[in-house]
A and B are shown apart, each in its own frame.
Chain A
Amino acid sequence: MKIYWLAIILVGMTLNLRAEEPAVKYPDGCRTLHDQVLAPKLSDRALPLLTGGVIKGFRPACTLRWSALSPKNEPIAVKACVGDDLVQLENDTACGAGTGRLWVSRRWVVTQSDLAHRTNPSTGKILCQQLETASSAVTRGFCIHGAEKATQTPEPPPKD
């Protein structure tokens, strides 16, 4: 029986099979289904691209202008996302080989879902933002009552 397992492992190593890191999808923020990156938000600046993933951690891969990322100025498909922040592009070569699919923050790009939901970052909600001047440690995630502060009510998504 053991010989079969050994054979499977050897074949796997030969074919360089790798387990894909699971993309974390949150139903409230991540809108990956058929989503696309359409353009940069700041056309005159390079995009900071990341490599890695949730388990291994993220790290910068390179910075590229949109023209280098999409020479024909075509939309780039979004393959996954982390929260409402990072989106994974269908591009694993722009920063060289071996980076895996690249990630970029929604802060720097316009996505199709952003347009559809008319997301306006400035109307978001700020939660428990305060200086940590307590000298004693408390439970992680502890949030002082009343520190939660809503700036403006986000616009409701348009009804289809």
Chain B
Amino acid sequence: MNVHFNHGPQTHRAPLDPVRIITESLLLAAVALLLLNFHPFGRGPNLHRYSQDLLYSWFGDHRWLYPKPPPLPARPPSTGRVVAVLIDEKSLALRSASWPAPLGFHAQILSELGVLQPRAIMLDFLLIDPAPAADSCALLATAASLRRDGVLLYLAVLRAEDFLKMADADCEDQDAHPLRFADVFIPVSVHRQADDSDFVTRRYPFADRPNGASSSTNMLSAAVRMYCDQAPSVSNCAVRLTRGREEGDGFELAWSPTGDPFNQQWSSARCDVKGNPFAGSVGRPALPLETSCPSIATLFASELISPSLGPDNGDLIRLIQGSFVFVGGNFRGSGDLMTTPMHTLLPGVYYHATALENLLAFKGYPKIRREFRHPKLAFYAFDLAVLWVLAAIFLVRQNVVGESVHAASPLSVSALTLEWLAKAISRVPPWLWKGAVAVVCLLAAAYQVAQLAAFIAVILAVLAIEFRLAVHGDLRGRLRSIAYYIGALALSVLVVAIAAAIGYRFLALPPGDWIGYLSFVAFGFFIADAAIVEFSRQVGDLRGHRASSGQQP
């Protein structure tokens, strides 16, 4: 039995023609863009978001990806530090209170925090339970005192009407002026957003805008309002962040895998764990690692209340003075929990704290997905431009390598080797070699260690056969092809790095929107032989043939 092999694809290669390279690479890039965004039945799978989660878990502690404010400053006041203060049952018990935390208790916490002179305090509690007038008045009086000292106070509400309906209990200050919630607290929306497909909290809404409501009725989300209130031009910040936004729009949250060093005093988990791509991917699931130490500095209210539990006053002042403080609940079974890319469950107050830290880190220009950008087409055009350059690199390489049998894929098994293998295998009965392949696949599927061993064994065997059979000229051609391959790969990675830097830094696109470029680099060489390019060449040939024979093109 004679076996005939076609030594390499009979590809048609025209000489290096810039116009052809430009047009064919545009064609390739357009097809690639469509494939990367091909979701005919609605939103696509969250694969890019998972890649983004991994990127943050590996490099979230690097300033190029997430330039979060540095930890505890050497000297107060802090500039832009975000701190969470957690109220739990222990702290309530210390002041003879119980759940739900009474207004009088909130007033005490505000009063004690006031000594430490924070920049702003956000109370992440919905004050919807009826309260004695004395408690309401104590809270209002404390809040008014803090406002006089220049501390901004924010109160969580779900709807603007809820805040307007808050009973003011006819409270008065020392000068007999009426005290009202609206005079001392700034209402902020505390709605949360989660991705539909996996319920992971990755986005933060700009504002709460009910369906059909105009932009003037927006109630800004807590972090947005707090950031814009301290920004030099208040109105511009809020307008810039909310202009043209629709209900459900939000910005992407960056996360850091490293815990704040302040938390090490209470956390049993290590807070200095750094992101590590190798530790995270080898021998472990390819999902981000769970981190138990939050990246936001956290003070338990019981430590604030009881000096025997918490840090000394010097540490507290360094932590709180000049900081943005979020007061939230940490109650077992309370339900105010969220799933983040790095935490299976985390108290909800960290959502707003992390969002503000993102706004501070990115100086008011957080990362926003393309789908929430306007005009959307411009951002997809940027993608097309990047893919165009990458496709051009692949096509130029393909043309430079020319008619070589390894032009398409230099790492593929050569025809000589395939022929040798076929002849060798044909000597054994078909049932035997097919059965042996099935057994090897079965073992590899069942035992992961066998997969790596089998993979290495196959690579070594094929390499040995390739070197044994290769003639001198063919080997040189293959090495040349591999050199071009590696060169093109390095150049395309450089292009991706530049595109990612432009996209992340200047266009404020989150990693999930540009991480797909890397997959194009990985598979671009296969795409370079896409049928659409061959089809376009056939069309070009036909047109050229017509022109040469004097017909109308």
Contacts and interface: CB of A to CB of B under 8 A. Distances in A.
Interface string A132-147: 1111111010100011
A113 interface: no
Contacts of B86: 131
Interface in A136-160: 136-138, 140, 142, 146-147, 149, 151
Interface string A113-134: 0000001111011111111111
A84 B112 CA distance: 16
Contacts of A107: 112, 304-307, 313
Contact of B313 (A41, A131, A140): A41
Interface residues of A, number: 53
Given A29-B308, A45-B115, A85-B305, A129 B266 contact: yes
Contact of A85 (B111, B306, B333, B343): B306
Contacts of B97: 57-58
A149 B268 CA distance: 8
Contacts of A46: 115
B141 interface: yes
Contacts of A50: 108, 111
A63 B145 contact: yes
B312 interface: yes
B330 A132 contact: yes
A135 B337 contact: yes
A107 B114 CA distance: 13
B138 interface: yes
B46 interface: no
A133 B337 contact: yes
Contacts of B107: 59-60
Contact of B138 (A59, A82, A133): A59
Given A60-B107, A133-B337, A121 B310 contact: yes
B89 A140 contact: yes
Contacts of B168: none
Scoring A83, A119, A121 by chain B CB atoms within 10 A of each residue's CB, the highest score goes to A121
Interface stretch (B344-352, B389-397, B413-421): B344-352
B294 interface: yes
Given A83-B94, A83-B306, A60 B138 contact: yes
Interface string B102-117: 1011011011101101
A130 B333 CA distance: 14
B88 interface: yes
Contact of A129 (B105, B138, B300, B315): B300
Contacts of A55: 96
A118 to B, nearest CB: 13
A137 B138 contact: no
A21 to B, nearest CB: 10
B142 interface: yes
A63 to B, nearest CB: 6
Interface string A11-50: 0000000000000100001000000000001100111101
B333 A58 contact: no
Given A83-B306, A106-B307, A138-B332, A59 B94 contact: no
B35 interface: no
Contacts of A108: 115, 313
A132 B108 contact: no
Contacts of B115: 42, 45-48, 63, 108
Contacts of A83: 94, 306
Contacts of B309: 124-127
Nearest to A51: B138
A105 interface: yes
B95 interface: yes
B104 A105 contact: no
Given A59-B135, A85-B94, 6 more contacts: A52-B104, A60-B108, A83-B306, A121-B308, A130-B268, A149-B266
19 contacts: A24-B96, A42-B115, A42-B317, A54-B96, A59-B135, A63-B115, A63-B145, A82-B96, A83-B94, A84-B308, A85-B305, A105-B307, A107-B306, A121-B307, A126-B309, A129-B266, A131-B86, A131-B330, A131-B346
Interface of A: 24, 29, 41-42, 45-48, 50, 52, 54-55, 57-60, 62-63, 82-86, 96, 105-108, 119-122, 124-138, 140, 142, 146-147, 149, 151
